[in-house]
Amino acid sequence: MYVDLGNALDAEPRLTREALERLDERVADAHDRIDRLRDEGAHGYASLNLPETVDPAAIRRAVARFDDPAAVLTVGIGGSALGAATLTEALGTDLDAYVLDNVDPTHVAALLDTLPLSDTVVHVVSRSGTTAETLSNFLVVREAMADAGVDWTERTLVTTGPSGNLRDLAARHDLPVLDVPAGSPGRFSVLSTVALPVAALAGHDIEALLDGARAEADRLTGSLFEAPAYAYGATCYALERRGAGVNAMMPYAESLESFAEWFAQLWAESLGKDAVGQTPARALGATDQHSQLQLYRAGPRDKLVTLVRPRERPDVSIPETDFDGLDYLGGGSLGDLLEAEFRATEASLAASDCPNVRIEVDRIDERGVGELLYGMEAACTLYGELAGVETFTQPAVEWSKRAARGLLGGGDVDADDAVPEKRRLVID
């Protein structure tokens, strides 16, 4: 992973190289603390050890029982689903990979109509084993399989924590179970039993994914000027402290759109604490040059734009044309056009004093994706240390979960008391 901070400096909000050099002293201290807590296997910090602690052979053994499926369905939500979505989209696959991470009945019904249920592997993932959306969707999926005459117990792999409803259900039906990695919140566990089984089923080189992550781990030193991940995390932190409350994650690769969604959970759920945090915006190049770029360039001076791209990618030629005004495109390629648009947008942001960081990987392959995912996790961990927040908890999400359970009569609050009377001003 390569990080170019050039356009992040001397923009608006203003961050100088001297300020980064001063911050580097705190980065060194933060790195020492992160290293110590990784050695102790402390909650969350242990995530950065996953390239060493994950057993890819065990993951391959767990999926070997499924004979060449036509489709794989991940049933999970948040970090229990976004990792699989990111890997299968980024790396592509002959397997039809689907993710069920919402309980929209229209969507669920349509997906079940699409799935070749007798030739689909279902990977149900929940660290807690109690998440309402995941358990509800799984009950619906297994019912659909049973109705189709499919033995769902032969088509299901479970990844979950040491206790909870999902662990109990797996035990009752003798389902194959993988353990979620101890000490890794869902948003930090893509490089583990949470998402790697789907990558393995899709035929990807999960060892190369871990090699890429390991390469990025090896570059974590006590200076942001030596460690790309820390350079990014420290710059994001420093800019947020100076007013860049929004970080638009804008990959120039269609296959990284889900990565931006994964990044949004990682950044928001880790750093949005104690009235601070940097809001991740999901964008996509070149598409959002015709959309959000207007706001990035001419809106409030409160944004950082993160531009991500591979240095190499397959290409598609643009045929020659005799249409007036199009000859500059004909005979070129879509890759040339995307490259020109990337560089023009990067320069356009700089010209409008909007700070932007360029992140590159050699290719969007297993190694490059492993570098990128691990790099973002390390960047987030450093940012959390510098900001002094509890990076690896998410207490603020519990209120609505508890209220929803209460409304359904499943919680420790009476349904009538689950949510306060809503203020109303109805315009109809």
Find the catalytic residue in 207, 269, 346, 366. 269
Nearer to ligand F6P, 315 or 398 (CB): 398
- Count of C-beta atoms within a 10 Å radius of residue 342: 19
Shortest separation between residue 324's beta carbon and ligand F6P, angstroms: 53
Q: How far apart are CA 340 and CA 346, in angstroms?
A: 10
Q: Which of 70, 344, 396, 397 binds ligand F6P (CB under 6 A)?
A: 397
Catalytic residue among 12, 254, 341, 401: 401
CB of 396 to ligand F6P, least distance (A): 9
Of 235 and 394, CB closest to ligand F6P? 394
| Residue owning tokens 């001076």 | 301
Q: Is the peptide bond before 286 cis (omega within 30 degrees of 0)?
A: yes
Q: Which lies closer to ligand F6P via its Cβ, residue 391 or residue 394?
A: 394
Token duo for residue 239: 């800019």
Question: Is residue 159 a contact residue for ligand F6P (CB under 6 A)?
Answer: no
Mark 153-171 as b/e (b = at least 16 C-beta within 10 Å): eebbbbbbbeebbbbebbe
Is residue 401 part of the annotated active site? The answer reads: yes
Catalytic residue among 18, 290, 421, 422: 290
Quick count: other Cβ atoms within 10 Å of Cβ 43? 16
Identify which of 367, 61, 361, 50 has the alpha carbon closest to the alpha carbon of residue 205. 367
Q: CB-wise, 184 or 356, nearer to ligand F6P?
A: 184
Binding marks (x or -) toward ligand F6P, 343..382, rule CB under 6 A?
----------------------------------------
Distance CA 13, CA 120 (A): 50
Q: Which residue has the tokens 């961990």?
A: 381
In the block, tokens 């994001």 appear at 236
Nearby residues of 422 by Cβ (< 8 Å), 6 or more positions away: none
Beta strands in 21-85 (DSSP E): 71-75
The reply to whether 394 sits near ligand F6P by the rule CB under 6 A is yes
Strands ordered across the beta sheet of 177-179 = 96-100, 71-75, 120-126, 156-160, 177-179
Applying CB under 6 A, which of residues 86, 134, 192, 235 lies at the interface with ligand F6P? 134
Q: Scanning residues 94 to 133, which ones bind ligand F6P (CB under 6 A)?
A: 126-128, 131
Residue 269 a catalytic site member: yes
Q: Considering the rule CB under 6 A, would residue 384 count as an interface residue with ligand F6P? A: no
Site map (CB under 6 A) of ligand F6P, residues 28-47, x = contact? --------------------
Answer for the pair 98, 76: CB distance below 8 angstroms, yes or no.
Answer: no
Q: Which is nearer to ligand F6P, 131 or 356 (CB)?
A: 131
Residue 129 neighbours by CB under 8 Å, 6+ apart: 160, 161, 163, 164, 165, 166, 167, 168
Backbone angles phi, psi at 385, to 5 degrees: -65, -45
Residues between 302 and 341 that touch ligand F6P (CB under 6 A) = none
**Cβ closest to ligand F6P, residue 146 vs residue 396:** 396
Residue 303 among the catalytic residues = no
The count of chain residues that interact with ligand F6P, using the rule CB under 6 A, is: 15
Q: Which of residues 170-189 bind ligand F6P (CB under 6 A)?
A: 185-187
What proportions of the chain, in percent to the nearest 5, are helix, strand and coil? 50, 15, 35
Nearer to ligand F6P, 247 or 394 (CB): 394
Interface map 56-85 toward ligand F6P (x if CB under 6 A) = ---------------------xxxx-----
Binding site for ligand F6P (CB under 6 A): 77-80, 126-128, 131, 134, 185-187, 269, 394, 397
List, by residue number, the catalytic residues.
Answer: 269, 290, 401
